[in-house]
Each structure stands twice: as structure tokens, then as C-alpha cells.
Chains A and B, each alone.
Chain A
Amino acid sequence: MSQTRRPKRGFWAALIGIAVVGLGLLAYIATKPKQVREVDLVGDPAQARGYLLGDSAAPLQIIEFADFECPACAQFATLTEPDVRKRLVETGQASYRFYDFPLPIHRNTWAASNAAACADEQGRFWEMHDRLFDSQDQWNGEATGRPKGVFTRLAREVGLDEARFEQCYDENRYQSRIAANRAEADRRRIGSTPTFIIGVRGATAGARVLPGTMGIDEFMRNVNEIRAAAGGGAAPHATPHATPNATPARGVGPTR
């Protein structure tokens, strides 16, 4: 048996060294806290109206900036958002507003936002929103350069008038609305998708910008902390900036 093949102390030391460094790095990355910024909710989007779910007068406001083609957004929409709706929106505790934030690296995302806006015209935005995220792999830029066929099928599945939908889609009828939502993201210096802004209506403190997808536990922890930070300073029904469901003029840019 060759002496050169005997395990050496140096080998084990190196192996353990790499293991320790690797595990340490992984543990650091996995547990690294996300960057959270405090923001002021005053100057809430009035012109870029997004898409509202729930009661606009609800005490908690949740705003999401998302890209329909972003995988992390799809992850949130399919795994976490159903629980958020059930626990907060359906119970009247929160309103949920979605803003398009189509990123240039995703080639079909504007088309998807267009499809969602056209669904909104027939009162089915959220159904289309859910179907778009559910079927992202069928229409994203990796899958096809012509997503319209998939969108039309989804429109049919969510019960839209197909002819009306197609006409709206082909006209790009809501491009200015999508652009306004996108501009609102820029105005708020949103840097990645999804990004959430959560705050208590009327509160002068505690609102947060939360970048990145997260599970329901982390989401609820943030909500609870935001509520606690807002404390008694909130005046749930006194804030004019929580945009009601009423629709302002289309294509108007965001408030600056």
C-alpha cells in the first residue's frame, strides 16, 4: 500500500476548513435579515391606481409592486398571497393593492399586464392575476414569444367575453395605466420585485417597504410589527390618501 495514499492530517484539516467556511457562508446568507426601510405613507398613489382588493377603508394598507413574469412574484402569489387574502383582506383588516412593475428583462411581462388590465375591464382582474401567476411557465419569455394564445385561453377560463378581451388586448388599451403603475414604482424607488409597502392608515409611523418574496409567517410578523409601531396613532377612517375603489382618469401619471 502506498504511503502517499495515507490520509493525512492536512487533508482532514482542509476538509473541515472548507466545511466550516461553506456552512458558515450558507448559514449567513440564509439568515441574513432583509433590508427594511421605514417610509411615510403620505403621498399614497392617487393617480397610478393599481388594482384594489378588499375594502379601501380597511385599517391596514398593503401595496405590492410586482412583475407578472417574475418567478419570485409568482411564488408569493401562489404560496403566500392566498393566506394573506384569507387572514387579512377577507376579514376586512386590510386592503390589498397591486401595481404593475414590468421589468425590462422579461419580454412578455407588458403583455401579461395588458391581459390583466383587459380582464379588469370586465371585472375579473384578480382571477386573471391568479391564473397568470399560476401558469407563468406557459407564457413567459422562456416558453414563448407569442403569449397571446395562452392569455386568450386564460381569459376564456376566467369567464371573460373573449372577443372583448382580444379587442382590448390588441389595442393595448391600458398601456398608459400600466405605465403609470410602473412610474409609481419608480417614484417610490422600488428596486426589485416583488416589493411590498405595508402601513396602517392614518399612522405617521411604522410603514415599511419590504423587498422580496416571503412566507405567510414572515409576512404576518411584519404586519404585527407595523401595527405595533403604528400604535394608537392610527386614525383608521381619517386618511384621504387611501385611494378608494373609484377610478381616476386613465393614464394619469403618479403623484409626485
Chain B
Amino acid sequence: MTKRMMAALVALAGLFIALYLTLYKLGVIGQITCSIGSCETVQTSRWATFLGLPVAAWGVGYYLAVLAVTIAGSTDRWADSRGVSLVLLALTGWGALFSAWLTYLELFVIDAICQWCVVSALLSLVLLVLAVLDYRELRLEADPVGGEAA
């Protein structure tokens, strides 16, 4: 399985977590009890909204984008595309940075940890690592001598 395929699987898992948090934020899922856990504290903080949309909804968009790029990049047509690798690298780099910022807010500003947000942040990190490996792999294939020398 290629790195892009692995990234697609990770992105799909992340998509469901983001969907769950979005539906929770919108009050669609289950009971929103106020007595348990700090997910509620994080989800109801002022930081749970970004540019007028729930942060989790941005997460849905992010994972969908990564999923689309990785699936497209896994087809014969795009399998060797360096452009796909660069787009993936840019996307996942941005995602990891954004997740790092959110984790910082949880730890030092909101003072509460949302377990699903932590899982999502870890998935973002894994996606970035896979994107870097994919990029390196492609570079090595394109220029095996130079790549090895590097």
C-alpha cells in the first residue's frame, strides 16, 4: 500500500471524527449533557468557532480535501504526480499547524482537553508524516542517484 493510500485511510477516519464533533456541536447527536467530560468545555468555548463556522466543520472540509487528493493521487493517472505530492504536503502541513494551534489552546487557554480533538490532532500529524514520506519517495524515484546522495 502506498503512502497516499495510507493517508486516504487516515483521512477517512479523521473525517468521521470531525463529522461526529460537528454533529455534536450542532446538537444533532445524542444528549448534550453538561455534567461530564471536558469535550463540552472545549466545544462550547469561543475557540470552537473559526470564521463563523464550527472548527469541527473546518475539520470535515480538511479531511475531505485530503481524502480527495489522496484518492485521486492513488489512481494510475496521478500516481506519479509530483504536483499531488506538493498539494498533499501543503494541505497536511497546514492541517498539522492548525491542529497544533488548537492543541495549544486546549492546553494553555481553555484549560481543558477534548479527547476527540486530540485524536484528530494526532491523525493530522500522521497525515503530515505520510505526506512527507510520499514526497521523498517520489523524489527518490524521480532522481534515485541524487536522492541517495542527499
Contact = CB atoms under 8 A, between A and B. Distances in A.
Interface in A122-137: 137
B143 interface: no
Nearest to A74: B44
- What's the interface size class on B, roughly? 35 or more
B32 A22 contact: no
B19 interface: yes
Contact of B27 (A67, A193, A213): A213
Contacts of A223: none
A4 B74 CA distance: 10
Which 7 residue pairs across A and B have the least CB separation, nearest first? A212-B31, A22-B16, A192-B33, A5-B79, A70-B34, A72-B32, A11-B5
B34 A106 contact: yes
24 contacts: A1-B76, A1-B79, A2-B79, A5-B79, A6-B79, A8-B1, A8-B5, A15-B8, A15-B71, A18-B13, A26-B16, A30-B23, A30-B28, A30-B29, A32-B30, A72-B31, A72-B34, A73-B34, A75-B27, A75-B32, A103-B34, A105-B35, A140-B44, A212-B33
B9 interface: yes
Interface of B: 1-2, 4-5, 8-9, 12-13, 15-16, 19-20, 23, 27-36, 40-41, 44-46, 71, 74-76, 79-80, 110, 141
